[in-house]
Amino acid sequence: MSLIPLLSTCLWFLLVSSFTCANEADVKCLRTIHSQVKDPNGYLTSWVFGNKTAGYICKFSGVTCWHDDENRVLSIKLGGYGLEGEFPQGIKNCTDLTALDLSRNNFSGVLPSDIASLVPTVTFLDLSYNQFSGEIPASLPNTTFLNTLMLQHNQFTGQLPPELASLRRLAAFSVADNQLTGPIPKFNEEHLKIGVDDFANNEGLCGQPMDACVEPDEDMIRFGKMGAAVGAVLFAPLVAYLRLVCHRW
């Protein structure tokens, strides 16, 4: 047997094996997600596994594949399905995923601290209008391809990770209607046009485009001046009265 046909056969085998493994991983991804979330409205009834037809998962509700004839997931968009549970960590097996939309559901709990390793290639991430809580993971900015990040209308607390400003591709971003505090990262506004509405209803946030942050020392000085002014107003009549009495004596 000549060397060239042998090499061609080996290359073909490796390519087929790699696609097969990738396809199996994506099937596992969706199977795990299906088992990890509650679906009270029955929107995921089309997610029936066990079919051997190429690309059968591409017909699942909310799932789009790179090609209709292979089980390689491009995006998962389950917005408004009324799903419940925590962030589905099975998503890590969809290794070619570029978009994840879990908005307008009833997901709750904290986001995984390693969320960037679960969705490393996504460009679109929408977790808005859920009940996610806790701090926004510091690893999230490691999802470097993000151009859309929507986290509004949840129950996030703590500060925004300063590293969010390193997401140079980011073009749409919102954390409105949470319980966040501290300074807003200094985003690159060449690509990201942020406004007050993107940070609204977070009483503790400060910095552009919200009110400027006040340093603790400045805060103490400001309150000291206010206290002195209030004291002067309250004690001025007393001082005047004492002077009058002393003058009569």
As a whole number of angstroms, the distance between CA 57 and CA 31 comes to 10
Query: What does the alpha-carbon distance between residue 143 and residue 61 come to, in Å, rounded to a whole number?
Result: 26
* Residue range 147-169: mean pLDDT, rounded: 96
- Judge contact between 185 and 159, C-beta under 8 A: no
Peptide bond into 209 cis (omega under 30): yes
Q: Above pLDDT 90, what percent of the chain? A: 69
Give dist(CA 154, CA 148) in Å, integer. 17
Q: How far apart are CA 164 and CA 136, in angstroms?
A: 10
- Of the candidates 60, 56, 64, the residue with the CA atom closest to the CA atom of residue 24: 56
Separation of alpha carbons 164 and 162, rounded Å: 5
**Tokens 């066990």, located at residue:** 50
Rounded CA-CA distance 8/15 in Å is 11
- pTM of the shown model: 0.79
Q: What is the pLDDT of residue 6?
A: 39
Mean pLDDT of 54-71: 93
Instruction: Give me the count of residues in the chain.
Output: 249
Pairwise CA distance, residues 221 & 165, whole Å:
31
Residue 18: other Cβ atoms inside 10 A: 10
Contacts of 186 (CB under 8 A, 6+ apart): 165, 207, 208
Average pLDDT (95-110) is 98
Residue with tokens 């209030």: 230
Residues 38-58: pLDDT tens digits?
Answer: 999 999 999 999 888 889 999
User: Which tokens in the block code for residue 161?
Assistant: 């990770």
